[in-house]
Structure 1
């Protein structure tokens, strides 16, 4: 299992996530990602190549003498990965093996250089995960040398040991790599796991396509959001999301494209779940009372001669709208606000209601594997009286009063909600590092490094 994680790391970092569908996401892994994998992948590859060598039968004497041979160390000084257009990834590695031959009377230590070549195909699995399979593998073994040059061991013995080691490693090394890649597919299966968005909502990604060029590998992923186990479906069908070639920061490891429909689906889910609704209550959040309102609306003063608390019930019946323009993301909310006063019998009495339009500036960021957001009010909040049980309500007078008790709680609630974030496509233990977020016309791009953490 440890070995499976070994080479698994090499390719997991190449296939962490990806794109396209309706709504769609695209993740491209570039040459910089291969360089990162090549560097940190040496140690797991070394562990993976620590195969078991069976006893060597020494026929040099009158009696067959079984001699134990052990790999003491495998050092990989060179590991290179590159894309194969239309196919997958090629692995080229140089490894130096150190063996110990437990001969009598003195053990013998030997070194052996090995060159490895493996081609791994990347395809779409039947359950929506990337599937990696080794289609070709070969190993080129060099000449065995003694570590102790003063040892007068028989050259004939070295030739026999070389033949034994060659026969063992030529079969075992490629078999080990193939087994490791098979174990990797289990790890890649975590791509399609459900990630929570809220207490009763989740997001699930699945792969719908893969493209490999000589410069990058691009995986298309569909994003499906669920509320109480039921999928969220947009009113209109979205077209396939295609990520332009030159966007974001050039030379980064990963380029992640998030389509407009993904944002539309997430906001529709939040609206249907009622997550955007709130009640503004209490003197700390809402100093408004019937006495304050009574100075603006005479009927309120008449009905409530004694000051009574006022509650604002904010409900979003209309789905929020996100607009993505180059270097600018905005969010439009149209809440319905009902203003209620506590009556003497502890019941609440509706005073009036407002149709409100709030335009917000949306700033996006990424933390580990989550896309997060913060908002600030853009321009004036628009108010329109929807109904009234207290006669005429002058919106100009109410505007300033309502803004002071409405905007701050709304922003606090919304920013806390968006701060929880929504999971981006990911596999276990792989995170985005030093990400930058760019807004384009109709989509968002994340340029990021990658960080593998156990």
Structure 2
């Protein structure tokens, strides 16, 4: 059992991947999509749930065999031997976490271990139960970052035994036997428990790494591949992680994004802060807003300002074209041009979006007469919410500017069209954009911390999600 544990611990050090350790400060060269700061309290909850509440520690300690204890003189000056000693139960285990700035994480597990076996004192044989307090302290850090993974290093695992209680022969064992048991357990238990703790940590790493390295679909449009962008790092008050989010179209290529350094807001009483950078959000918006051109016939039922728009355009037509609108319906084609651009200012988010608006009529012969080709530059106000682990953006019209690109009929003054085009954008285009954004941007399930009681803050150059 001991040899196998030592082998598994060696494998852990070579191949394990960890989430909750770190070295030094984050690299300034990292171009990540988002960053996270996790509080010690959140880490303690995550680790306690994974190791203790889920029974992982009990499972791997169950049946642990302890070497035989051969003692000197015990009851009635007779030799004492304890055999078949094994771990029967882990009682009241507790786990605590502290951060070691620039080094990693210190994890402390305290518990009462109940060991059972057979005891022979002189000519008297009976079952023995030994209850011993243990405190296991392990310093954990990581190194050798490569392709989203890091290697685990467990250093300075220290196992200290405390109070010991022996139940045998109605408590008639002498204190000398207690001393013998404590001495031999002190010599053997640390070499058994520390490798088991290493194995447990490895299992937890594998479980929680999937929350940091995951490919998540974005509706039918594409995927986001989240993974660690650099080594995790620790300060005295939080664990920091930079994550990259590779945004990829279905059947297409990755939409690139870069990043500039940004500072997360302080944790305060929050469990976690996640910061998303504009360049990453822009790449996701480009994925979601892949909208084909939209064609509408300008009839009263199309939108509330359709009649007014048609009348306004009629007044702009030269005399020789005054009968055009009477013979053919007015058609409108909306085409998104360029990529959306999100701007994050203090307490305000806006999306800039360019739209080409073609107003034309098509004769019975199929020929198209282009009345107007407009460029509309939209400033859209952004509302932000969290639903189902996704960041949902809602757009509303803030302002619009119009420019005339061309006109086949000689229209040059479009100043009267702005309110009607605004109505067109609000009633026809924005519902389509919001429907496309309604599926939301999937967020990484960092360490399994649920996104409950979430507060979103918009800062200069950063969208911060506080849990």
* TM-score, shorter chain, exceeding 0.5: yes
* Shift in Å, 1:285: 7.5
**1:230 is matched with which residue: 250, 253, 256?**
253
Question: Aligned residue for 2:40?
Answer: 31
CA distance in structure 1 between the aligned counterparts of 2:161 and 2:282, rounded to whole angstroms: 56
Encode CA deviations 1:63-98: one digit per residue, 9 max, x unaligned.
Answer: x9964645134321x422101111100012210123
- The answer for the alignment partner of 1:43 in structure 2 is 53
The answer for the alignment partner of 1:266 in structure 2 is 284
Aligned position for 2:215: 194
**Contact 1:330/1:359, CA 8 A, preserved across alignment:** yes
Q: Which residue of 1 aligns with 2:91?
A: 74
The structure 2 residue matched to 1:423, chosen from 421, 442, 446, is 442
Quote the residue 1:383 is aligned against: 402
Gaps of 5+ in 2: 1-8, 10-17, 72-77
**Residue pairs, 1:32-431, within 5 angstroms:** 32-37=41-46, 40=49, 42-44=52-54, 46-47=57-58, 50-54=61-65, 67=84, 69-76=86-93, 78-101=94-117, 107-123=127-143, 125-146=145-166, 150-152=170-172, 169-190=189-210, 191-205=212-226, 206-227=228-249, 228-233=251-256, 238-239=259-260, 241-243=261-263, 247-248=265-266, 250-270=268-288, 274-275=290-291, 278-279=294-295, 286-287=302-303, 294-298=310-314, 302-303=323-324, 305=326, 308=329, 312-340=332-360, 351-367=371-387, 369-379=389-399, 381-389=400-408, 392=411, 395-427=414-446, 429-431=448-450
Distance in 2 separating the partners of 1:439 and 1:210: 24
Kept after mapping to 2: 8 A contact 1:14/1:29: no
1:202 positional shift? 2.5
- Structure 1: gaps of 5 or more residues: 5-10, 449-454
TM-score by length of 1: 0.76
* Aligned 8 A contact 1:19 1:25 in 2: no
Q: Secondary structure at the match of 1:316?
A: strand
Are 1:50 and 1:74, in contact at CA under 8 Å, matched by a contact in 2?
no
Distance 1:207 1:284, change over 3 A: farther
Deviations 1:11-64 (A, max 9, x none): 75789xx997325422122334245347646424653563323387698999x9
How many angstroms does 1:355 deviate by? 1.0
Q: Give the TM-score of the pair, scaled to structure 2.
A: 0.74
Tell whether the 8 Å contact from 2:335 to 2:355 is kept in structure 1 after alignment. yes
Aligned residue for 2:338, secondary structure, equals coil
Distance 1:65 1:109 in 2: 10
For 1:189 and 1:158, locate their aligned partners in 2 and report how far apart those are by CA, in whole Å. 44
Q: Is the 8 A contact 1:368 1:433 kept in 2?
A: no
Secondary structure of the 1:262 match is helix
Distance 2:107 2:161 in 1: 16
- Once the two structures are superposed, residues 102-129 of structure 1 have per-residue CA deviations (whole angstroms, 9 ceiling, x without a partner) of 6798654432111111010033532213
- Structure 2 Cα separation of the partners of residues 130 and 192 of structure 1: 12
Residue in 2 that maps onto 1:8 = none
CA drift at 1:276: 7.8
> In structure 2, do the counterparts of structure 1 residues 86 and 294 end up closer, same or farther at CA, with 3 Å as the change threshold?
closer
Q: C-alpha distance in 2, partners of 1:261/1:293?
A: 37
| SS of equivalent to 1:335 | strand
Q: SS state of the match for residue 434, structure 1?
A: coil
Distance verdict in 2 for CA 1:219–1:196, change over 3 Å: same
Distance 1:297 1:251, change over 3 A: closer
CA contact (8 A) 2:62 2:87 kept: no
Match of 1:437 among 456, 462, 465: 456
Change (3 A) 1:243 1:297: closer
Question: How much does 1:425 deviate?
Answer: 4.0
Check whether the contact 2:21–2:141 (CA below 8 A) recurs between aligned residues.
Answer: no
8 A Cα contact 2:232 2:239, kept in partner? yes
Post-superposition offset of 1:441 = 2.1
What CA distance in whole angstroms lies between the structure 1 residues aligned with 2:416 and 2:353? 22
